[in-house]
Homo-oligomer: A and B are copies of this chain.
């Protein structure tokens, strides 16, 4: 798997998320034609992510969003009931999609080593393809409601849990040395997150997501090599 093959499979992810949101909230949304709604929702979401990445969701006014999306203030409110609901749409549906993709990719794997590679690559590819989305989720969590914050924390722990399971499986099979799986999973997650938290740095240095993935995998494998 390379980034190019990955992106071909998930090019319509944003549109899919918007369609799902539309279908789940049909009664409340004033627009009735699916094609129109999904198109405009995608524009709204993309504009919101762009503007929020620049100056934060709180600092982004709906007037900014109106100007950037090309929709009027009134039109925006046909798609969501409040600014908070827009935040929720992006958080909830974004996170669900990411979890689903990550799980799907992992299920294709046979060996422990395959799983570890798929975990690192899929996470990095996802955060590359949905860069704004990942950055948004990380930076804006504190603006969420109590319930949403819990959801966000669970999401972090879920990914970490998946890494822990892979490490444990490897230790059981005598492939990896005996290590602190929770701390190791934690720092692996931190290294993967750096890709989208410091995107500007890697861009400036012309490091591609595939190069970063290869480096990370070799770094982790060196640590997990059993001392003979």
Binding site for B on A (CB under 8 A): 53-56, 58-59, 139, 142-143, 153, 156-157, 180, 182-184, 186-187, 189-191, 193-194, 197-198, 200-201, 205, 207, 212, 215-216, 219, 222-223
Contact = CB atoms under 8 A, between A and B. Distances in A.
A205 B186 CA distance: 12
Contact of A58 (B59, B187, B198, B200): B59
Contacts of A190: 190-191, 193-194, 197-198
Given A56-B56, A156-B198, 15 more contacts: A53-B142, A54-B142, A58-B59, A59-B143, A139-B139, A153-B200, A156-B201, A157-B201, A184-B219, A186-B201, A190-B193, A190-B197, A222-B222, A222-B223, A223-B223
Copies of the polypeptide in the assembly: 2
A180 B215 CA distance: 9
Contacts of A142: 53-56, 139
A56 B138 CA distance: 13
Nearest to A188: B191
A157 B200 CA distance: 12
A146 to B, nearest CB: 12
Q: Which 7 pairs show the lowest CB-CB distances between chains A and B?
A: A190-B194, A58-B58, A187-B191, A58-B59, A183-B215, A190-B191, A190-B190
A157 B201 CA distance: 9
A60 to B, nearest CB: 10
Contacts of A54: 142
26 contacts: A53-B142, A56-B56, A58-B58, A58-B59, A59-B143, A139-B139, A139-B142, A153-B200, A156-B198, A156-B201, A157-B201, A180-B215, A182-B205, A183-B215, A186-B198, A186-B201, A187-B191, A187-B194, A187-B216, A187-B219, A190-B190, A190-B197, A190-B198, A191-B191, A193-B194, A222-B222
